[in-house]
Amino acid sequence: MNGILIAMIITLLIPLYTGFYHDEIWEKMLAFATISCKTAMMILVISVLRDDWMIGVVAIIVLSVGNAGLMLLAHLIKRLDEEKI
């Protein structure tokens, strides 16, 4: 099972790389979206591995809150882009 988690960590490095090297703000938002989803999924996997449901509940909340924060931020950045024109 450790192998699965290490594979998940390596896939986490791909959006980290794209988020750092691309200058477009929406590329960074995409990297943020995938990473917030992936970290929440990793916490879920770990909670199942350890049979600890407290961590599992936290994973669900992190998943929903991460997406909510992302949508708020996306709306603010979209408004900024519209003002530029």
Residues of the shown chain interacting with another protein in the complex, contacts defined by CB under 8 A: 2, 5-6, 9, 12-13, 16, 19-20, 23, 25, 28-29, 31-32, 35-36, 39-40, 42-43, 46-47, 54-55, 57-59, 61-62, 65-66, 68-70, 72-73, 76-77, 79-80, 83-84
Least gap, CB of 51 to another protein (angstroms): 13
Least gap, CB of 20 to another protein (angstroms): 5
| 47 φ, ψ (degrees, to nearest 5) | -65, -35
* Closest to 17 (Cα-Cα) out of 27, 4, 5: 27
Least gap, CB of 44 to another protein (angstroms): 10
Reduced to 3 DSSP states, what percent helix, strand and coil does the chain have, rounded to the nearest 5? 90, 0, 10
Structure token pair of residue 3: 């192998």
